[in-house]
Chain A
């Protein structure tokens, strides 16, 4: 039975006649116009990613494209065997089918991601557009990845089975929020804890931020030119001495942990202790002498010492060497992970101080003085710690400080807070401010509102759904994990990594964009942006790169990509940092559908030309002539 017979049978079928007809084609085309037009409007109102999640990558759009494809496929099929004058029509439609099929291949099997490389470094990790949960159990060399498509709808555990099935028994995913902010919050605890937390709002022409300070774990924050701090006890301006409550549970606790840490440094040499920020457990202790020479890598974070100071003082928000007579040993570190760099400072005498109270890349660093060290030994005595128990007291000279003093004795959550302002170390003003009230600061016309004051507070990490903002990037999604019903749940925002304990096994979990490690490494030798002379309008930008650290140095620029092992690397963007090397952003792409798309395009173009020519008067005249 030939194809012609099959077709003639099919043509008796009403449904086939419909699916191969222009009666289906015209409405399909019009609906396509409306749908994708709506997508472009969404992109204009929100952003490209939202439009693509909402329209182009949705399941119903795929079904719609399938109908379109079937229609285009059946249209020529229904007219088999072809007559000579139909050749243009048939070729056009075959070209279109191949083109669309090529698009599908790209969609399903292609790779399209972003690779960022800082000048002078190399990278092979490409960020793709799908999401993944990754985890690594203690002692296991491999990382497990569960990859899924980003959704714009929130999901509870019943819709998350597809992830949980793959996850194994370690933990479960409970909830997915498409747009969320994961943040630390403080709430009243039923247990008396003697911790106080306050929230405040800073408002000016340029910004409006809400922040927390808590005696529990975040007593101080650096915001722009000012340091903000919560202090227990009232401030008395008259004799410029402070009536702070010296003995609190918290401080003695910290002293204990400090002592514990100090004792773990066995040798008399100066050491740097690397701790897990979450669990406060020691990961590694490195002799300072070694660290000064070679960087140490812990959990993928490269740690280098950028400054060592014997008497650190803070001047103009920078760490500097002060009067040699004093003693305040400090180290400044540089932590690098991926393309990101963080700065961290640690003082021997102020063990609890950190620029990153939540940990930098999940780590805390502690500078431990040597036991035989000149100033360190006696400094460790109870009294000396007492004297210096306010880690940033030394920061007041030269700095702008806002202190929130919580008068003692009052346990009312709506009590007034004493706000004390220092400018360049000088006392400026003080005021008692209640929740909802504000005070004007002497900088930048800033207004400071007190949000709430909570006694007996405890911290909790919560995820808050946030609204989509017009004309800006999508907020990150968040995932809630649970080890078991009894333990508190854990929220992860895109890009977060956390360590959890399951039984006595430590598991490293991360959530974020799917990562692909290329089979080669790209080193960025130099990035340059060339402007039109006399302007800051870029004329071109280009990167000089080297593959795998050897071989020729090649140029990648706009309209000039590089092909390596089946991948094509394009110059997509760049970012120039004020103090630091430039970062080049490449688009990395592998497209198995490319051949089909090009083939389809050529056939389509030939088809249209044939179609037009054979309908033209000249052609018809010739035929009539014959």
Chain B
């Protein structure tokens, strides 16, 4: 999210400074008329529906340091503006192009202003969530933003979250303006901008001419969109391209497939379905657990396919941001719980872990505004595939082992409410949890050491009490304390199980909290904001479950005594 914001800010500023170039033409759509928001939205939908997305979506554009198909470009732009891909009911490509061609586009209420307080500050009703370009232009958003730029320049850390929302809204306004005028796409489609001639007179390139023709064509009824799009693609393909970008051309199809197919969504659905079905004993008895492992192949291959596509397109290990690591951890949960299933043949554990794995994937997919799913390149310090695929993958996969332990702990916390006699059950489950914690500690320790070696190699010190590394250590030591307390005889099977979700909160802090809440230290490339509510709800629910579980456990024991 933060990345997207920062990059659109750069873009917004670039457009701001090159405004003079564009001032000579009045946007690609000359006939702008005013309309009511409802009428404008209707116009947009009508205009969008007659746009064919297939001929144009593979047009290559450059943005954020890579080439991407227009399909992705439109999708990311619409998401940033609207907070959702398909709220208009149109495909993002159609929405994007309709914004460029509908004559009432400036009156479409599209920009989602996410902070209700800001809506009031801007002079609108608190309930007015979506705003049109006309609304934004008439508001005081630019005067609200001006002092913030200065503040950001001086000390970017000093911005409050409310101030960040103001900047975000300003960036949304700038982006929508650029989209409607056509500058946004014109600039992205023209590779001559890749040579770093920002702000200079823009050559009237062939691509821009072809794009203009294509856009004109969309606005007239007796013109073949397909032919014009093909012509545009042909001209675009002939552009001079930096060598390091050439490989993206062969990946266009793969990326569009990835966008359409949504492998993680389907994988998550199947995980949850399988988990729920096989935890019902009458179904399991009817079909047999053999089918469970067989059917598991389907979501697992979808999951791996998705990760594989991400690696193929980005050329980096898929663990460069929160989105990537969550998908990776979800895979780890599936794999580790399957391993437990193979060793101990307990279908319940696998089912619970599959549901958890599916929920993680589902959550990851559902909040693209917080966890950015983009495939854009990474910061300089991360550009080392060797270390990314050893240190980061090892650390994050250890979180998967701890997740399974936390799931087992939660099962125990619920179990006390269902059955009164649980000793054998707790003994069995605590053994699983013990093995998972052991595995997690081993992986995390190795991961931390690998991180130390990388830090020594890249920053010149093995250990520096940086928040990210410190919290990884805290999580590790937290679980190690459980292992040692067990040796001391302080933890009974139930308490060992119940303390796993407690220690798991340390993992949440190391994984999410350092990047999203503390946002300090050298691991700054992962910093972002948002999602605090989701995590807060999780923590509260977990605390309640823990408190109730413990209370029930000890009251049962009292009765037994």
B460 touches A33 (CB 8 A): no
How far is B63's CA from A434's CA once the two chains are assembled, in angstroms? 56
Q: Tell me if B377 and A539 are in contact (CB < 8 A).
A: yes
Given A39-B470, A43-B521, also A471-B157 (CB < 8 A):
yes
11 A-B pairs with C-beta separation under 8 A: A22-B485, A25-B488, A33-B506, A40-B465, A112-B461, A533-B65, A539-B65, A594-B462, A597-B462, A604-B445, A605-B445
Nearest Cβ on chain A to B154's Cβ, whole angstroms: 9
Determine if B535 is an interface residue (Cβ-Cβ < 8 Å).
no
Q: CA A550 – CA B457 in complex, angstroms? A: 26
Judge whether B292 is part of the interface by a CB distance below 8 angstroms: no
Which listed residue, B62, B379, B467, B490, touches A26 by the CB 8 Å rule? B490
> Given the interface contacts A37-B470, A540-B380, A612-B438, does A29 sit within 8 Å of B460 by beta carbon?
no
B381–chain A nearest beta-carbon distance, Å: 6
CB of B221 within 8 A of chain A? Answer: no
Q: Specify which chain B residues have a CB less than 8 angstroms from the CB of A22 in the assembled complex.
A: 484-485, 487-488
- CB-CB under 8 A from B381, the residues of chain A are 558-559
Interface: A32 (CB within 8 A): yes
Partner-binding segment picked from B267-275, B293-301, B471-479:
B471-479
Contact A537 B379 (CB under 8 A): yes
Q: Check if B186 is an interface residue, CB within 8 A of chain A.
A: no
**Counting CB contacts under 8 A, is B64 at the interface?**
yes
Known: A33-B478, A44-B520. 9 other contacts (CB 8 A): A37-B474, A51-B465, A470-B158, A532-B65, A537-B65, A588-B460, A589-B460, A591-B462, A597-B452
Q: Which of B62, B438, B519 contacts A533 (CB 8 A)?
A: B62
For the complex formed, measure the closest distance between the CB of B495 and the CB atoms of chain A, giving whole angstroms: 13
Binary CB contact string for chain B from 5 to 18 against chain A (1 if under 8 A, 0 otherwise): 00100100000000
B458 touches A534 (CB 8 A): no
Taking the closest CB of chain B, its distance from the CB of A53, in whole angstroms, is 11
Interface string of A358-378 (1 = CB under 8 A from B): 000000000000000000000
Interface residues of A in 508-547 (CB under 8 A from B): 531-541
A462 at the interface (CB under 8 A from B): no
Set of chain A residues within 8 Å of B474, measured between Cβ atoms: 33, 36-37
How far does the Cβ of B343 sit from chain A's closest Cβ, in whole Å? 8
Residues in B with CB closer than 8 Å to A558 are: 380-381, 383, 458
Q: Which residues of B are found within 8 Å of A30, using beta-carbon distances? A: 478, 481
Contact B477 A32, beta carbon cutoff 8 Å: yes
Measured CB to CB, the nearest residue on chain B to A535 is B65
In whole angstroms, how far apart are the Cα atoms of A537 and B6 in the complex? 10
Q: Which of A4-38 contact B (CB under 8 A)?
A: 21-23, 25-26, 29-30, 32-33, 36-37
Q: State the CA gap A609–B514 with chains docked (Å).
A: 29
Closest Cβ–Cβ distance, residue A592 to chain B (whole Å) = 12
Which of B146, B155, B521 is close to A48, meaning CB atoms less than 8 Å apart? B521
Query: Min CB distance, A507 to chain B, in Å?
Result: 36
**Inter-chain contact total with CB atoms closer than 8 Å:** 168
- Which residue of B has the minimal Cβ distance to A569? B460
Q: Is the CB of A601 closer than 8 A to any CB of chain B?
A: yes
Whether B467 contacts A44 by the Cβ 8 Å rule is yes
Cβ–Cβ contact B458 & A570, under 8 A = yes
A559 and B147 form a contact (CB under 8 A): no
Question: Considering residues B245, B343, B484, which has the most beta carbons from chain A within 10 angstroms of its beta carbon?
Answer: B484
Q: Out of A40, A534, A540, A570, name the residue touching B514 (CB < 8 Å).
A: A40
Complex CA–CA separation, A540 to B157 (angstroms):
23
- Chain B residues within an 8 Å CB radius of A397: none
Assuming the A-B contacts A33-B474, A598-B453, are A103 and B462 also in contact, with contact meaning beta carbons closer than 8 angstroms in the complex? Answer: yes
> Is residue A412 within 8 Å, beta carbon to beta carbon, of the partner chain?
no
**Is B244 part of the binding interface, using a Cβ–Cβ cutoff of 8 Å?**
yes
B518 on the interface (CB 8 Å rule)? yes
Q: Which residues of chain A are within 8 angstroms of B462 by Cβ–Cβ distance?
A: 103, 106, 591, 594, 597
Is there contact, CB below 8 Å, between A604 and B449? yes
- A561 contacts chain B at the CB level, 8 A cutoff: yes
A205 at interface by CB-CB < 8 Å: yes
Q: Does residue A52 face the partner (Cβ distance < 8 Å to B)? A: yes
What 0/1 pattern do residues 73 to 101 of A give for CB contact below 8 A with B? Answer: 00000000000000000000000000000
Residues from 597 to 626 in A contacting B, C-beta threshold 8 Å: 597-598, 601, 604-605, 608-609, 612, 615, 617
Whether the Cβ atoms of B242 and A48 lie closer than 8 Å is no
0/1 string, A439-475, CB within 8 A of B gives 1: 0000000000000000000000000000000111000
Q: How far is the CA of A558 from the CA of B378 in the complex (A)?
A: 13
Instruction: Give the shortest distance, in Å, between A495 (CB) and chain B (any CB).
Output: 20
Contacts of B478 in A (CB 8 A): 29-30, 33
| Cβ–Cβ contact B245 & A533, under 8 A | yes
Q: How far is the CB of A224 from chain B (nearest CB, A)?
A: 13
Q: Are A533 and B242 in touch, CB under 8 angstroms?
A: yes
Closest to A106 in B: B462
Contact of B520 with A48 in the complex, beta carbons under 8 Å: yes
CB <8 Å contact, B488 and A26: yes
User: How far, in angstroms, from A612 to B471 measured CA to CA in the complex?
Assistant: 24
Give Cα A452 to B529, complex, Å. Answer: 45
Chain B residue, CB-CB nearest to A532: B65
Are the CB atoms of B65 and A534 closer together than 8 Å? Answer: yes
Asked if A568 is at the interface of the complex by the 8 Å CB criterion, the answer is: yes
Is B384 at the interface (CB under 8 A from chain A)?
yes
B442 in complex: contacting residue of A56, A539, A608, CB < 8 Å: A608
Q: Is B359 an interface residue (CB 8 A)?
A: no
Would you give the shortest CB distance from A2 to chain B, in whole angstroms?
27
Which of B377, B384, B471 is in CB contact (< 8 Å) with A40? B471
A residues in contact with B383, CB < 8 Å: 539-540, 558-559
Inter-subunit contact A206/B465 (CB<8 Å): no
B459 close to A (CB within 8 Å): yes
Flag if B442 contacts A43 (CB, 8 Å).
no
**Nearest 4 CB-CB pairings of A with B:** A532-B65, A44-B518, A589-B460, A44-B520
Which chain B residues border A501 with CB–CB below 8 Å? Answer: none
0/1 per residue, B484-498, Cβ < 8 Å to A?
A: 110110100000000
Is residue B463 within 8 Å, beta carbon to beta carbon, of the partner chain?
A: yes
Q: For the complex, what is the distance from the CA of A455 to the CA of B380, rounded to whole Å?
A: 58
Please tell me if the beta carbons of B477 and A39 are within 8 angstroms of each other in the complex. Answer: no
A98 vs B243: C-alpha distance in the bound complex, in angstroms? 48
CA distance A21 to B489 in the complex (A): 12
Known interface pairs A36-B470, A536-B10. Does A23 touch B66 (Cβ–Cβ under 8 Å)?
Answer: no
| Bound Cα distance A472, B155 (Å) | 7
**B480 interface residue, CB < 8 Å from A?**
yes
Among A40, A112, A534: residue with most chain B CB under 10 A = A534
Tell me if A608 and B481 are in contact (CB < 8 A).
Answer: no
A160 contacts chain B at the CB level, 8 A cutoff: no
Chain B residue nearest to A617 (CB atoms) is: B343
A279 to B158, CA, bound (A): 42
With A22-B484, A103-B462, A533-B242 known to touch, is A40 a contact of B520 (CB < 8 Å)? yes
Distance between Cα atoms of A300 and B146 in the complex (Å): 43
Q: Which residues of A contact B473 (CB under 8 A)?
A: 36
Q: Tell me the residues in window 337-388 of chain B with beta carbons closer than 8 Å to chain A beta carbons.
A: 343, 377, 379-381, 383-384, 387
Residues in chain B near residue A52, CB distance under 8 A? 465
The distance in angstroms between the C-alpha atoms of A26 and B499, with both chains bound, is 14
Chain A residues positioned under 8 Å from B439 (CB to CB): 612
Contacts of A33 in B (CB 8 A): 474, 477-478, 481, 506
**A236 close to chain B: CB less than 8 A:** no
Chain B residues with CB under 8 Å of A559's CB are 381, 383-384, 387, 457-458
Which residues of chain B are near A478, meaning CB under 8 Å? none
Within 8 Å by CB of B519, from A37, A44, A470, lies: A44
Contacts of B274-298 to chain A: CB distance below 8 A: none
Evaluate contact between B453 and A601: CB separation under 8 angstroms: yes
Of A40, A601, A609, the residue contacting B467 (CB under 8 A) is A40
Contact with A along B426-465 (1 / 0, CB 8 A): 0000000000001101100110010011001111111101
A536 to B383, CA, bound (A): 16
Residues of A contacting B452 in the complex (Cβ-Cβ under 8 angstroms): 597, 601
Q: Residue B193 at the A interface, CB < 8 A? A: yes
> Which residues of A have CB within 8 Å of B467?
40, 43-44
Residue B79 lies at the interface, judged by CB distance under 8 Å to chain A: no
